[in-house]
Structure 1
Amino acid sequence: MGAVSYLNRHLTLEEPQRVSDGAGGYVESWVPLGSLWASIEAGTGSKRSEDFATISVVPLRITVRGAPVGSPSRPKPEQRFTEGARTYVILSVTEADPMGHYLICQAREEVSS
């Protein structure tokens, strides 16, 4: 993979943060950690029912530049990428090459309909 030439999508990496709701509970909000250039390859999608909505699930392979373990710019499971109105939930992260120059994030895009 000539990965550098394929990093043509500008994504924002976000992390969930719990904030007090003032009534003894909390609400979850998403905090931007930074932006990354990425390549996105889509897999085969499926649909499932959840609560009162039908959710369309598309597995994705998102490639980004490598970052050391523990670095805030290294994606982690349960974080997400956003691209405009689109949201990609990160499921797992592995090195794409032995030197760790690139990371592969297995993710899914969930779209309510």
Structure 2
Amino acid sequence: MAFDGTIDPGAFTARLVLEQPVEVPDGQGGVERTFSALATLWARIEPTVAKADEAAGTLPVTVTHRIWMRRRENLAGGMRLRKGARLFAIRAFRDPDETGRYTLVDCEEIKP
């Protein structure tokens, strides 16, 4: 979606769960990272790039997405978005037109 300052509210058709990382002691002096739901929101998901990299005789594919949502004050590095079984690691986020209305999130789809 090219951003011209307006977004059709009907374009936010994906129901996502914003998850935050939680570190739980593992009983051996370390921690185990899990995620807990922070909020449920409506968004628009746009695939942007699919890149294949050969590694150890396999061809893993990395898919990145732009996810548009209404402004969120509580985004931070390490968070992720979930749509059913699909997971999106948040890599960067910004206010696309500096009006405080929307947040544009750059994500990488990760395998659970």
TM-score (norm: length of structure 2): 0.82
Q: Is 1:2 the counterpart of 2:45 in the alignment?
A: no
How far apart are 1:2 and its partner, in Å? 2.4
**Aligned counterpart, 1:102:** 102
RMSD: 2.3
How far apart are 1:43 and its partner, in Å? 1.2
How far apart are 1:24 and its partner, in Å? 1.5
Aligned partners of 1:26, 1:52: CA distance in 2, in Å? 32
Aligned partners of 1:26, 1:53: CA distance in 2, in Å? 31
Stretches of structure 1 lacking an aligned partner (at least 5 in a row): none
Q: Is 1:37 the counterpart of 2:42 in the alignment?
A: yes
**Aligned counterpart, 2:52:** 47
Aligned partners of 1:55, 1:15: CA distance in 2, in Å? 26
Give the 5 Å matches for 1:1-113.
Answer: 1-48=6-53, 55-67=60-72, 71-72=73-74, 75-111=75-111
Give a deviation string over 1:23-53, Cα, whole Å, max 9, x none: 2211110111111110011012012366897
Stretches of structure 2 lacking an aligned partner (at least 5 in a row): 1-5
Which shows bigger deviation, 92-101 or 52-61?
52-61
Report the 3-state secondary structure (helix = DSSP H, G, I; strand = E; otherwise coil) of the residue aligned with 1:45: strand
Which shows bigger deviation, 43-52 or 25-34?
43-52
**Aligned counterpart, 2:3:** none
C-alpha change, 1:27 and 1:50, in structure 2 (3 Å) is: farther
Number of residue pairs the alignment of both structures matches: 107
Amino acid of the structure 2 residue aligned with 1:88: F
TM-score (norm: length of structure 1): 0.81
How far apart are 1:100 and its partner, in Å? 1.4
Report the 3-state secondary structure (helix = DSSP H, G, I; strand = E; otherwise coil) of the residue aligned with 1:103: strand
C-alpha change, 1:52 and 1:10, in structure 2 (3 Å) is: farther
Whose strand fraction is larger, Structure 1's or Structure 2's?
Answer: 1
